[in-house]
Amino acid sequence: MESINSIKLPSFLRRTLNAYALKAYVRGLGCELTRIRRSRNWQLKANNSQIYAIITFIEQSHEDSWLWLATLLKSQYQHLTHDNLVIIAKRLPNLTISALMAHTDCTLTQARKVLDELEGFD
């Protein structure tokens, strides 16, 4: 079972155009997206694979106002286990070490271990 991350999203609605589409996608993944009391701040509760899916969705969409969220989520996405890296690597087409490092911000050593495991050299 993956751990649930709780991430604060300051001024979510004010910084995001077409927020309804982003909120619908995030909630469709099974994430919990709620407003913090009566403030303008929101909170996202998601596991690592859901966070990766959100980052990928934002980067593939052509909505510039969502990029701040992808940057924020990437900074929260730093602490991946080896198993999480393997799951992510299986999803990436044309996997290379540099592509895995770019998507996950993992180290060169971690990327090599994951790639070796997937290729059966472990």
Number of domains within the chain: 2
DSSP-derived secondary structure for 25-73: HHHHTT-EEEE-TTSS-EEEEE-HHHHHHHHHHHHHS--GGGHHHHHHH
Q: Mean pLDDT throughout 33-43?
A: 91
Q: Does 12 share its domain with 70? A: yes
Domain span including residue 29 = 5-76
Q: Could you tell me if 41 and 88 lie in one domain?
A: no
What mean pLDDT comes out for the span 51-59? 89
pLDDT at 28 over 90: yes
pLDDT at site 61: 92
**Same domain? 10 vs 70:** yes
Claim to verify: residue 64 and residue 110 sit in the same structural domain: no
pLDDT at 58 over 90: yes
If asked whether residues 19 and 39 sit together in one domain, one would say yes
Long-range contacts of 98-104 (CB under 8 A, 24+ apart): 103/52, 104/52, 104/77, 104/80
Mean pLDDT over each residue of the chain, to the nearest integer: 86
Tell whether 19 and 72 lie within a shared domain: yes
Query: Token match 């995001």: residue?
Result: 16
Q: Give dist(CA 60, CA 63) in Å, integer.
A: 9
Are residue 92 and residue 110 in the same domain, yes or no? yes
Same domain, 32 and 59: yes
Q: Is 61 in the same domain as 100?
A: no
